[in-house]
A and B are shown apart, each in its own frame.
Chain A
Amino acid sequence: MTSELSISQEKEAAVVHEHDEAGNSMFGFIVFLLSESVIFLSFFSGYVIYKTTTADWLPAGVAGLETREPFINTIVLVSSSFVIYIAERFLHRDNLWGFRAFWIATMAMGSYFLYGQAVEWSGLSFGVTSGLFGGTFYLLTGFHGLHVFTGILLQTIMLIRSFLPGNYEKGSFGVEATSLFWHFVDVIWIILFILIYVWQ
């Protein structure tokens, strides 16, 4: 009797196990992010090697990077990590409008960051071909900016989806993954900011 029961429980466990698609997706997404972080790690180590071994690091006529605006940008981006967390909390409590409000706030902060970076880029006196300094600067900030842009794109999709009736009945994997991605992009930026702006 008991063994019969445990068999059927096991079978059911197997079925649940098999259909835990959101769990699999989240696992796969984390694996992907870990792998993605190695690209950044490679760029960072390249940057460190270039900076420590190049004789004329700054191109002629460039004194260094302005840190004030990028710092404000950093504050905005890092704070958005908390804002997106609040949005997620609202979703867990099934407060959709609260979720949407904070979600849109995150998107706005991300967009402000991108705008700030565009302004910074346009005001710089050096280009991508200005030696290793110019190359690595635009490579790192550009590659990170691409990730921020991807994050905002994902957030837009999630926002639109939130208006579909019954969208969260099967779980909120999309929102959780987007949020995780956003934290990832933030952490990368903190390292990047320290490497490029603080360590001059």
Chain B
Amino acid sequence: MTNIPIESIGVVAQPRPGAPDNWRRFFSFSTDHKVIGIQYIVTSFIFFLIGGLFAMIMRGELITPDADLIDRTIYNALFTMHGSVMLFLWTFPVLVGLGNYLVPLMIGARDMAFPRLNAAAFWMVPVVGILMLSSFLVPGGPSQSGWWAYPPVSLQNPTGNLINGQVLWLLAVAISGVSSIMGAVNFVTTIAKMRAPGMTLFRMPVFVWTVLAAQLIQLYGLPALTAGAVMLLFDITLGTSFFNPDKGGNPVLYQHFFWFYSHPAVYVMVLPVFGIFSEIFPVYARKPLFGYRVVSVSAIVITIVSGVVWVHHMYASGTPGWMRMLFMFTTMCVAVPTGVKVFAWVATIWGGKLRLDTPMLFALGGLINFVFSGITGVMLASVPVDIHVNNTYFVVGHFHYVIYGAIVFGIYAAIYHWFPKMTGRMYYEGLGKLHFWLTFIGTQLNFLPMHPAGLMGMPRRVASYDPEFAFWNVLASLGGFLLGMSTLPFILNMVSSWIQGKPAPANPWRAIGLEWLVSSPPPVENFEEIPVVIAEPYGYGKNEPLIETKHSEELAEPA
């Protein structure tokens, strides 16, 4: 007992983040996973606002049919940057941030497996951001080939300069990829090797399962994108002919490399959100997660199945018929493990004792949006329907329901739910509810009209369109501006609560989980003594302890 090092250090409650003596650590090369987690979340939120600003300018352009507000090249650059910033600088990093903060706490570890690697991975994110946004300053402007950067369009270089928007974009994506791989190695090692005694696989919270599932996708998927990106970079800079049809190259092969990663990338983003839903519903419904083991395993099933669905983005790309049919079936199969999760959440909520606090509202709203997007997703998987709606606003509507409706809602839910833990302060419930309703209404208004516009045949990525689509676009633009406004109560809430909110107890939600057993905010090394886990993670209504109490006479089971 005496040789436990932490006891000699002594546990001092960590000063509150935001207190004048220690706010500087958020700007330092800290190796504390909790600091890094918050660094990720705050940094990526700034990029979320930037990406949102781009979206609002685009919605301003689209409020009228003509290309009249901004030049077409600027519009094209904006949608490229909107997609790239939102994916590489907001959704990926914010989820890595939440995982960073929560995973070690949830599995009973003092930190991630590789703390310095963790910090290095984080500090690449601002570099990626600066590189990407600096492309606004080079001659020719940022990349205008979309976040998918299909050749030959991405190979066309109007200025002829070597340093152009497209090259900067590729470099930024490459650095982001290195950062993600470093993060993925760290997460997988942490989850595999750093679990507290008694924390068997089937005692891990679902959030940990889903982070594991998501990071495994990063590990097998990202290298394929890297390979494609390297070849594209050589085509642009060295004049090779991999994807250049003028020199006998095959531009469609790039699409395979790109989507082999970029479709599973959606699961990298949505899986941790499934985890968040699975954490939040039991707490606010006061019931165990329904079918915990099945929900956990279905995350891994999604990891595997998502590796063989990528061609559904390419039904119209001249893909042979057999491939269209094969990938139609595999894509639809994703609906099965996903459906299992949805039904499990509904069953968890059913018959519970619900409390509609802000995290629960966001989780419920996110679930409803997700069900909707899942149904349109199955429609898109069907080849004949997809041949009509592929590359139309129907697709834009569908994936914004996924990415905004489900993922961003899940992220908001998580931020509210764990805000007391992270900051040691309570947020203001009223502002939270206002934020929810603005976001929920804004989401429907912004993204629902995109579906009819797409069904009528409005292509995506257009700076101008035929007047018949004006009605739906006006609605969508209003929704877009409303979504922009909806971030204001959130920012106000977060900043003011962090500075002067009511101090939070260790477990304000009466939630079960290792992270709720430590103080808010947690001490530097998380646990005074590494807990010994003796139960599954969602024992609501069962009155059984999650961990062994100190000096217990009866050991429930060996580790």
A contacts B directly in the complex (CB < 8 Å)?
yes
| Chain A residues packing against B (C-beta within 8 Å) | 3, 6-8, 10-15, 17-18, 20, 23-25, 27-28, 31-32, 34-39, 41-43, 46, 49-50, 53-54, 56, 128-129, 131-132, 134-136, 139, 143
B184 at the interface (CB under 8 A from A): yes
A143–B229 Cα distance when bound, in Å, is 14
Query: Which residues from 182 to 205 on chain B have a C-beta closer than 8 Å to any C-beta of chain A?
Result: 184-186, 188-189, 192-194, 196-197
Q: What residues of A have a CB within 8 angstroms of the CB of B529 in the complex?
A: 11
Contact indicator B253/A11 (Cβ below 8 Å): no
Whose C-beta in chain B lies nearest to the C-beta of A12?
Answer: B3
List 14 A-B residue pairs with CB atoms under 8 Å apart, sorted by A's residue number. Answer: A6-B555, A10-B559, A13-B559, A14-B559, A24-B194, A31-B188, A32-B181, A32-B185, A35-B185, A37-B223, A42-B227, A42-B257, A132-B242, A134-B240
Residues of chain B contacted by A7 (CB below 8 angstroms): 551-552, 555
A37 and B234 CA atoms in complex are apart in Å by 20
**Is the pair A24, B113 in contact by a Cβ cutoff of 8 Å?**
yes
Query: How many angstroms between the C-alpha atoms of A28 and B186 in the bound complex?
Result: 7
A35 touches B220 (CB 8 A): yes
Contact B1–A42 (Cβ < 8 Å): no
Q: Complex formed: what's the CA distance from A28 to B188 in Å?
A: 8
Measured between alpha carbons, how far is A20 from B257 in the docked complex, in Å? 37
Contact across chains for A35 and B219 when beta carbons are under 8 A apart:
yes
Counting chain B CB atoms within 10 Å of each CB, the highest count among A28, A54, A128 belongs to A28
**Chain A residues with CB under 8 A of B184:** 31, 35
Q: Residues of B within 8 Å of A, CB-based: how many?
A: 53
Known: A3-B555, A46-B231. A18 touches B110 (CB 8 A): yes
Complex: how many Å from CA A20 to CA B551?
25
Extra inter-chain contacts (11) besides given A12-B3, A13-B197, A129-B241, CB under 8 Å: A10-B197, A10-B558, A10-B559, A24-B113, A24-B114, A24-B193, A27-B193, A28-B114, A32-B181, A135-B231, A135-B240
CB neighbours of B226 from chain A (8 A): 39, 42
User: Separation in Å of the A36 CB from the closest CB of chain B?
Assistant: 7
Taking the nearest CB of chain A, how far is it from the CB of B333, in angstroms?
A: 22
Q: Once bound together, how far apart are the Cα atoms of A168 and B247, in whole Å?
A: 54
Partner among B113, B227, B240, B247 whose Cβ is within 8 Å of the Cβ of A28: B113
- Note all chain B residues with C-beta closer than 8 A to A8: 1
List CB contacts (< 8 Å) of B227-249 with chain A. Answer: 227-228, 230-231, 234, 238-242, 247-249
